[in-house]
Amino acid sequence: AGLNKRTTSKRLAEAFSKFGQVIEARVITDRISGYSRGFGFVKYATVQEAGEAIKGMDGKFLDDWVIFAEHAKQREAPQPPQQATP
């Protein structure tokens, strides 16, 4: 379970602001439909504030939906295709 499809970036910022200074909060939306994809990102002023938010919000309800809060994982760069050797 991720974010409720009706959760907005503003609502995400409001919910997470009780744990520290939110620099940015963004719900990720589908490029074509504009609807939420069910997840988002919150950026804090400090790593400590982010840690407190994760502890405070993980498994809690936001907009009648149980959410999971965790540190963002960096995406790995796509690897070039391997060429077969004859």
Per-residue pLDDT tens for 29-55? 999 988 899 999 999 999 999 999 999
Question: Where are the chain's structural domains?
Answer: 9-67
Number of Cβ atoms within 10 Å of the Cβ of 25: 20
pLDDT band at 86 (very low <50, low <70, confident <90, very high): low
What's the CA gap between 38 and 82, in Å, rounded?
Answer: 34
User: Would the pLDDT of 84 be above 70?
Assistant: no
- The CATH architecture that domain 9-67 belongs to is 2-Layer Sandwich (3.30)
Q: What's the pLDDT at 1?
A: 53
- Does the CA dihedral 51-11-63-31 come out positive or negative? negative
